[in-house]
Structure 1
Amino acid sequence: MSTFTILLGGDLIRTPRLDRQVEGSRVIAADAGIGHARLVGLVPELWVGDFDSVPADLPADLAAVPRQTFPREKDKTDGELAIAAAIERGATSLVLAGAFGGKRADHAFLHLALALRLAEAGTEVLLTSGAQEGVPLLSGTAGFDYADGTLFSILGFSELAGLTVTGAKWPLNQVEVAFGSSLTISNEVQGRLDIALGHGRALLLAHPYPLPES
């Protein structure tokens, strides 16, 4: 398996879990995502984008990263272009670091939808901000290594059928979930979390670390 970490422009904090997830991966930065490289201790092999949001005062090793430049007026985001570059280089697994938050809610939504499309095409995808992470859910069964008490939600991108959740405070057994329903929001891990989906598209959103108190 060839894993690439894509540095995106959203929120990112460094955690031991994130270090394990990106360890040994190849790295491509998408425009402002280069600003996360020093945080996670990685130097990208490629920097992709229109470079309209380059961080100021980049260290010399990051400023020297080879660039693939695109016009500002284009039909793909810098993140999608960086992902395409990784797949061209043989990526079979992607860690989208900085996929949530940031200044552009539209870009964050695109990352969720794009992750589902990539998963359907056979690419393993993890979206992460360090504090929270997302995993596409397609038909079949998947297991997760989250600790007891971890908050998680299942976000439906269509109507869901045959959804079964075990190892949770509120288990589900072969339920149907209408598109837009909040039934699968704010659950907690209790034991080994396993999710089976008969039909539909969804994304698991989990918080491996406690949410900050408001």
Structure 2
Amino acid sequence: MSRYTILLGGELVRTPALDRQIAGTRIVAADSGIRHAETLGIVPELWVGDFDSAPPVLPERLKAVPKRKFPSDKDSTDGELAVDIALEQGATALVLAGAFGGARADHAFLHLALALRLAEAGIDVLLTSGTQEGRPLPHAAVTFDYAEGTLFSILGFSELAGLTVRGAKWELAGVEVPFGSSLTMSNEVRGTLGVELAQGRAMLVAHPLTGKEG
């Protein structure tokens, strides 16, 4: 498996879990996402974008990162361009670091939708800000290793059918969820969290720091 981390422009907090998730991955920074390299103590192998939001001051070791410049008038965001480059180089798994928050809500939404599209194409995708994580749900049973009490929601990007949730404060058994429903918001892990989805597009968003270790 060829694993890449894409540094995006949203919020990012360094945590032990995030360090483990990006360990051993190849790093590509998208425009302003380069600022996270200093936070994480890493040096990307490539920096891509139109650089209209690049930090004005960078440490010397980051100034030396190879750049691939694109015009400001383009049909893709810097983040999507970075993802495309990683895929061209054979990426089969992506960590989208800095995918949430930031000044551009439209970019954050695009990262969620992009992750769903990538997952449907067979790419293993994790979105993270360090304090929250997003994982596209396959049409299969899957379990998650989150601590007891971890807050999570399931975001539906369409109508959902056959949604089952086990190991949670509020469990579900093969339910249908209308598009736009808040039924699957603000749940809590109770034991081993298991989710199964028969039809529809959805993403699990978890807040790992809310859980109780041990």
Classify the TM-score, shorter chain: over 0.9
TM-score by length of 2: 0.97
Q: Distance in 2 between matches of 1:57 and 1:170?
A: 48
What SS does the aligned partner of 1:13 have? coil
Does structure 1 residue 201 correspond to structure 2 residue 201? yes
TM-score w.r.t. length of structure 1: 0.97
Q: Deviations over 1:63-92 (max 9, x none)?
A: 111111000010100000000010111100
Q: What is the letter of the counterpart of residue 173 of structure 1?
A: A
Q: Check the 8 A contact 1:138/1:200 in 2, yes or no.
A: no
Classify the secondary structure of the residue corresponding to 2:210: coil
1:39-188 map, 5 Å: 39-188=39-188
Moved over 6 A (4+): none
- How far did residue 121 of structure 1 move? 0.3
Structure 1 regions of 5+ residues with no counterpart? none
Q: What amino acid is the match of 2:166?
A: T
CA distance, structure 1, for counterparts of residue 179 and residue 138 of structure 2: 15
The RMSD of aligned alpha carbons is: 0.8
Q: Could you report, residue by residue, the CA deviation over 1:142-196 in whole angstroms, capped at 9, with x for unpaired residues?
A: 1100000000000000100000000000000000000000000000000000000
Matched residue count: 211
Within 2, Cα distance between the matches of 1:24 and 1:161? 37
Taking the aligned partners of 2:45 and 2:89, their CA distance within structure 1 comes to: 11
For residues 26 and 36 of structure 2, what CA distance do their matches in structure 1 show?
15
Return the alpha-carbon distance in structure 1 between the equivalents of residues 17 and 44 of structure 2.
Answer: 20
The answer on 1:16 being equivalent to 2:16 is yes
Identity fraction in percent:
70
Aligned mates of 2:179, 2:24 — CA distance in 1: 38
- Supply the distance in 1 between the matched residues of 2:210 and 2:138 (Cα, whole angstroms): 27
SS of the residue 1:209 aligns to: helix
| Structure 2 residue ranges without an equivalent (≥5) | none
CA distance in 1, matches of 2:51, 2:210: 34
